[in-house]
């Protein structure tokens, strides 16, 4: 289905959703927004006032089972292991699984790792249920999507009750029933007949969920040796040290672990400004709509052959290029605060939305980041079940620009048996040393008659004149 905001899909006004604090998500894709545990624990939202108590009680049950277990693999150990596994919550549309609006859940392997590390902390005499949330943050393989899935699973009934209440107040008509714990909740019917779960935006964030440095520093302050090791870990790591290394250091002594948990509980979560949306997490959709509306174009699929489809998609990419280079769309690729380029995902979603609008009239289906092969490819455009043309978009600042061209698409095309593809590079301010090499490589492949993706380069560099930028710096 075509991209839609939740408000449009439910046929309600944006302001009415906002009045109830509901995230006006883009449905049919995952929005890469996550439940921030600390924001959730401090919420004043009536349907979530018991959230902290529920989460504590849930993990307290796990602690009781672990303490009562005599050995790994016994009945009580298995019960604890089962409680630490979380199925992907249905209909939340917040996680990483593109074109699959659910999370991926916590499976047996990650749950086992979580349980074993919890056992180590319990042996120190620390029995704070918050340890599980902190262990998830420190756990290798635990991204913000899994932390979010854990919170959503434990509080699923809270979310369902909230969704039903808001839907009642907004007179949402098309509903389906979801039954949980012998209770029935009437949810808005979503795409493909699944229920849509409404989520308050106040405890959502697109940012990494991390233990703040201040909390780690506060905990390590008890011991000069630990403090020194912690500083060295961060100083010597190329970017950040492994989370497991930090956890081993801070969670190996009772006094330090207790201070870390206390500081984390009192710390402030990463609240995001959805109204301003500086990272363009949701704003890309409206920007795309405005761009297409302000720069209409009619595309005709003159032939049902692969050549006809390739020609049409090339025209759509060219129109996207024109909107960026000549019609001011380049401005949207930069943050307003520091003029740094936004995340590459913003450009990918922007192109997706622009292409979606232009393709809608041509009966072209768009899916993103197919999981059918070795590596994800950002866009796949197809007409019916026939020929498919892959489109991958990257920023020129991406350090793996060449890798994506020579490896990722080749591997994907081999697995999907797709004949042709396009590689779209949006040139932005900053370092982009691989772009010239990429052009040379593309030219070499074509001269040698070798199969390679079509290359499109779009100039989204800052169009302010050099003199104007200089004047701004002088002020």
CA distance 167 to 174: 10
Query: What percent of the chain has a predicted confidence (pLDDT) above 90?
Result: 36
CA atoms within 13 A on the CB side of 356: 21
271-280, 316-325, 364-373, 455-464: the lowest-pLDDT one: 364-373
* Mean pLDDT within 338-356: 87
Would you state the pLDDT for residue 383? 53
Residue in the block written with tokens 């050099």: 466
* Secondary structure (DSSP) of 30-44: ----EE-HHHHHT--
Position 238 pLDDT exceeds 80: no
Position 372 pLDDT exceeds 90: no
Answer for the pair 324, 458: CB distance below 8 angstroms, yes or no.
yes
Name the pLDDT band for 408 (thresholds 50, 70, 90). low
pLDDT digits (tens, 9 = 90+) for 175-229: 999 999 899 999 999 877 778 999 999 989 886 767 776 777 767 777 677 777 7
* Mean pLDDT within 58-87: 94
Under DSSP, the state recorded for 406 is I
Longest Cα separation, the chain: 74
Name the pLDDT band for 377 (thresholds 50, 70, 90). very low
* Mean pLDDT within 371-379: 39
The kind and range of the H/E element at 177 are strand 175-180
Position 98 pLDDT exceeds 50: no
Position 376 pLDDT exceeds 50: no
pLDDT digits (tens, 9 = 90+) for 415-427: 555 557 888 999 9
Position 104 pLDDT exceeds 70: no
Position 401 pLDDT exceeds 80: yes
Would you state the pLDDT for residue 374? 31
Prediction pTM value: 0.83
Say if residue 244 is exposed, middle or buried (CB neighbours under 10 Å; 0-12, 13-18, 19+). Answer: middle
Q: Which residues contact 440 (CB under 8 A, 6 or more apart)?
A: none
CA distance 275 to 264: 27
- Both tokens of residue 57? 């009680």
Mean pLDDT value across the chain:
82
Position 153 pLDDT exceeds 60: yes
CA distance 251 to 135: 9
């Amino acid at each position: 289905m075509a991209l839609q905001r939740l408000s449009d899909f439910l046929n309600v006004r944006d302001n009415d959703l906002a009045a109830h604090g509901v995230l006006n998500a883009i449905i049919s894709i995952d929005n890469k927004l996550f439940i921030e545990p600390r924001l959730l624990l401090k919420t004043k939202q009536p349907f979530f006032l018991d959230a902290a108590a529920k989460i504590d009680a849930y993990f307290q049950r796990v602690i009781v089972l672990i303490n009562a277990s005599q050995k790994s693999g016994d009945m009580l150990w298995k019960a604890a292991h089962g409680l630490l596994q979380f199925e992907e919550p249905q209909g939340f549309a917040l996680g990483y699984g593109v074109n699959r609006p659910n999370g991926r859940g916590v499976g047996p392997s990650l749950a086992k790792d979580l349980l074993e590390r919890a056992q180590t902390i319990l042996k120190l005499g620390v029995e704070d249920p918050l340890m599980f949330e902190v262990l998830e943050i420190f756990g290798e393989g635990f991204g913000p999507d899994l932390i979010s899935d854990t919170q959503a699973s434990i509080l699923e009934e809270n979310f369902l009750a909230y969704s039903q209440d808001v839907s009642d107040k907004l007179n949402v008509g098309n509903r389906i029933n979801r039954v949980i714990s012998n209770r029935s909740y009437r949810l808005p019917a979503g795409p493909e007949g699944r229920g849509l779960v409404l989520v308050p935006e106040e405890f959502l964030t697109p940012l990494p969920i991390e233990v703040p440095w201040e909390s780690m520093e506060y905990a390590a302050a008890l011991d000069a040796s630990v403090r020194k090791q912690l500083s060295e870990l961060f100083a010597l790591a190329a970017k950040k040290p492994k989370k497991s290394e930090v956890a081993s250091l801070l969670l190996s002594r009772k006094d330090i672990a207790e201070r870390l948990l206390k500081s984390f509980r009192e710390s402030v979560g990463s609240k995001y400004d959805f109204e301003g949306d500086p990272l363009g997490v949701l704003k890309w959709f409206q920007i795309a709509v405005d761009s297409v509306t302000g720069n209409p174009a009619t595309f005709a699929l003159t032939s049902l052959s692969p050549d006809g489809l390739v020609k049409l998609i090339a025209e759509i990419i060219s129109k996207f290029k024109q909107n960026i280079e000549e019609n001011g769309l380049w401005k949207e690729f930069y943050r307003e605060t520091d003029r740094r380029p936004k995340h590459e995902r913003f450009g990918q979603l922007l192109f997706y939305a622009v292409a979606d609008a232009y393709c809608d009239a041509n009966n072209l289906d768009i899916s993103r980041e197919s999981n059918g092969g070795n590596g994800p490819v950002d866009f796949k455009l197809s007409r019916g079940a026939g020929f498919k043309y892959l489109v991958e978009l990257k920023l020129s600042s991406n350090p793996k620009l060449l890798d994506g061209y020579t490896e990722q698409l080749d591997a994907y095309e081999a697995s999907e048996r797709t004949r042709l593809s396009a590689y779209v590079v949006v040139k932005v301010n900053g370092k982009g040393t691989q772009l010239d090499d990429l052009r040379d490589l593309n030219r070499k492949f074509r001269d040698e008659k070798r199969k390679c993706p079509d290359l499109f380069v779009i100039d989204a560099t800052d169009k302010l004149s050099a003199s104007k930028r200089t004047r701004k710096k002088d002020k």
